[in-house]
Structure 1
């Protein structure tokens, strides 16, 4: 399908002294100046390694901030993901496109081929940053965006990390854009999720959360089986017009049957009801639960099935396959790369069967 569509080549030049600084401490978040050439257009950028555990991988992932010009293609920054542990290289893009397909806000992405200081670094996934430029490109109302940066973004008053009461309600989040007062809205959200009486929850929670959009997101997490997706790997967007919080997926490589280390994750690993405090409270309400059930049934019938997903997976695989032999990190694992589409399709079939067998729990 996409075999003839060539990957854009991104030529990255980091002056040797800056590259030495970057490599001297992979955990440092201070960016270094560099140059990026895309389609013969030269861009001055700041660059730094991105991610948490992925920084220790041989194939690094990067955060790129445009400096001169200060925006490029209506973006202030982009992320370049190495997808090092995903032997298919497809899972993140496949997931984010799937979320968009089922009606959830999701970042756009594209495969690119990265060259660093004249040396091939291989196939990367360019990810759109979820920020004020993301909202602007979609004509969405201005609002605040918070990244869920660790397990404390669990919508609870209790810390996942410290195993006690949170010292502050915004623990687990990092504000990407918005005013100082927006932190108060986030704090109020967490407090309300945990303190609205059960008898009032159905009519009260809709004043804070876009429940329909949350349920669509939940269906996406459950079907792709992202174990970390409930307390991590998402951004919260507070729509400035409605005042309601919406949720946006992020970093979905540990999906479609494999975990963060690329190991097999059986199709029944994550249950149909997922977890985190907000999910539990929403699914405690029969009206919401039945709506979620109907959403799952709808997506299983239309998108989450082998017939629908096979050409999408094949198209992505065919597009990047010619570049595998030039990727120094996977060129010796072509056979594994070629086996992954079938593995993903088998997972889809098995996961769909498992979800179907558990739909009765939502009655």
Structure 2
């Protein structure tokens, strides 16, 4: 496991800790192997910020791009006993053909003190597009539960603007205006017109693969939060990427067990509902989901992946001062994940038999 060392002046560390909810960046140095980089650092996340083990956002300063990235995330994965659910989710999305951030576990030190095992995650931004040889295009984050592709909030109140719930990561205000037009279209076209027009603005196949990925991993927040929209400048179609998938594979974001059939296999945002109301897209989704259940989301495929991942983590667990779990505990947690895969896939297959 790669060692990351952050050196930060105590006065800047005090500034970070003065208000942990601020996103203000402070200067630091990051050492990876023999290479030293000037960076900017801040805390990140919501639930994790008031925990002992915090997550970090790191921006490269000098040089501004390292290994194709200008920004990386170091996720504490504190609530997840396995520290692996995010990675397992991203890797599954990548496997089924959805643009997803790559990730790897690292051992983090700050000012000489070991902070434990972290998951380094790529930032979904213009640099990721360049790294993957994809056309440039605006990237918009869904940052709260108002990003539900609806005219209404979760509380059924009319939105004051249709871009509520979204934050522009890369692009211009015109891109947010186009997003509002897209959301208006989703909500106002007749079924006949929606079926004709949607494929002109949305990569439907890619979107339905993303829906299938969220459904399989059962990310409760995934349909109205925790995703990024990318508009491919070559195709002029919206594509979608997952983000923050730690509350998955049988547990919620608090680390509690979640019933295998808690999230419906058809999802629950407005765009998904409109697509799956139409026979053409129902069949397309059914084919995609059936293929994933046969070739990707199976115990036969996932068990060796999970075993290998856990074995890379085990030797470093004793170095993490914030976790109380041990190698035996994550072996026990395998049973939770394996049981979830079997029950979730069986539930989805049963539902598909009546899905016409």
Helix, strand or coil at the partner of 2:158: coil
Cα distance in structure 2, aligned partners of 1:351 and 1:335: 25
Using the TM superposition, give the Cα deviation of residue 331 of structure 1 relative to its aligned residue in structure 2, in angstroms: 4.7
Q: Which residue of 2 aligns with 1:180?
A: 173
Q: Which residue of 2 aligns with 1:73?
A: 67
Using the TM superposition, give the Cα deviation of residue 176 of structure 1 relative to its aligned residue in structure 2, in angstroms: 0.4
Cα distance in structure 1, aligned partners of 2:206 and 2:354: 21
Q: Which residue of 1 aligns with 2:289?
A: 296
Deviation string, structure 1 residues 30-75 (Cα, Å, up to 9, x no partner): 1111111001111111100001121111110000001111111111
Using the TM superposition, give the Cα deviation of residue 315 of structure 1 relative to its aligned residue in structure 2, in angstroms: 0.7
Q: Which residue of 1 aligns with 2:310?
A: 317
Picking from 187, 193, 196, the partner of 2:186 is: 193
Picking from 71, 79, 84, the partner of 1:85 is: 79
Using the TM superposition, give the Cα deviation of residue 199 of structure 1 relative to its aligned residue in structure 2, in angstroms: 2.0
Picking from 330, 333, 352, the partner of 1:337 is: 330
Q: What is the 5 A alignment of 1:220-259?
A: 220-259=213-252
Cα distance in structure 1, aligned partners of 2:348 and 2:106: 34
Native 8 Å contact 2:227 2:242 kept in 1 = yes
Native 8 Å contact 1:325 1:331 kept in 2 = no
Native 8 Å contact 1:45 1:64 kept in 2 = yes
Helix, strand or coil at the partner of 1:320: helix
Picking from 165, 188, 210, the partner of 2:158 is: 165
1:261 equivalenced with 2:254 (yes/no): yes
Using the TM superposition, give the Cα deviation of residue 337 of structure 1 relative to its aligned residue in structure 2, in angstroms: 2.0
Q: Which residue of 1 aligns with 2:339?
A: 346
Deviation string, structure 1 residues 213-249 (Cα, Å, up to 9, x no partner): 0100000000000000000010000111111110000
Using the TM superposition, give the Cα deviation of residue 362 of structure 1 relative to its aligned residue in structure 2, in angstroms: 2.0
Provide closer, same or farther for how the CA distance between residues 269 and 332 of structure 1 changes in structure 2, counting only shifts above 3 A: closer
Unaligned runs of 5+ in 2: none
Cα distance in structure 1, aligned partners of 2:234 and 2:173: 18
Bigger relative contact order, structure 1 or 2 (CA pairs below 8 A, ≥6 apart): 1
Native 8 Å contact 2:314 2:326 kept in 1 = no
Q: Which residue of 2 aligns with 1:285?
A: 278
Unaligned runs of 5+ in 1: 1-6
Native 8 Å contact 2:318 2:326 kept in 1 = no
Cα distance in structure 2, aligned partners of 1:149 and 1:199: 31
Using the TM superposition, give the Cα deviation of residue 361 of structure 1 relative to its aligned residue in structure 2, in angstroms: 3.5
Q: What is the 5 A alignment of 1:38-49?
A: 38-49=32-43
**Aligned-residue CA RMSD (Å):** 1.0
Cα distance in structure 2, aligned partners of 1:75 and 1:35: 16
Picking from 115, 127, 145, the partner of 1:151 is: 145
Helix, strand or coil at the partner of 1:186: helix
Helix, strand or coil at the partner of 1:23: helix
Picking from 8, 33, 41, the partner of 1:14 is: 8
Using the TM superposition, give the Cα deviation of residue 340 of structure 1 relative to its aligned residue in structure 2, in angstroms: 1.4
Using the TM superposition, give the Cα deviation of residue 332 of structure 1 relative to its aligned residue in structure 2, in angstroms: 4.8
Q: What is the 5 A alignment of 1:196-207?
A: 196-207=189-200
Native 8 Å contact 1:324 1:331 kept in 2 = no
Q: Which residue of 1 aligns with 2:207?
A: 214
Native 8 Å contact 2:163 2:180 kept in 1 = yes
Using the TM superposition, give the Cα deviation of residue 333 of structure 1 relative to its aligned residue in structure 2, in angstroms: 4.1
Q: Which residue of 2 aligns with 1:59?
A: 53
Using the TM superposition, give the Cα deviation of residue 182 of structure 1 relative to its aligned residue in structure 2, in angstroms: 1.2
Cα distance in structure 2, aligned partners of 1:259 and 1:48: 26
Helix, strand or coil at the partner of 1:362: coil
Deviation string, structure 1 residues 92-124 (Cα, Å, up to 9, x no partner): 000000000001110111110001111111110
Provide closer, same or farther for how the CA distance between residues 332 and 276 of structure 1 changes in structure 2, counting only shifts above 3 A: closer
Cα distance in structure 2, aligned partners of 1:11 and 1:361: 54
TM-score of the superposed pair, with normalisation by structure 1: 0.96
Q: Which residue of 2 aligns with 1:276?
A: 269
Cα distance in structure 2, aligned partners of 1:262 and 1:336: 14
1:129 equivalenced with 2:111 (yes/no): no
Cα distance in structure 1, aligned partners of 2:290 and 2:327: 36
Using the TM superposition, give the Cα deviation of residue 341 of structure 1 relative to its aligned residue in structure 2, in angstroms: 1.7
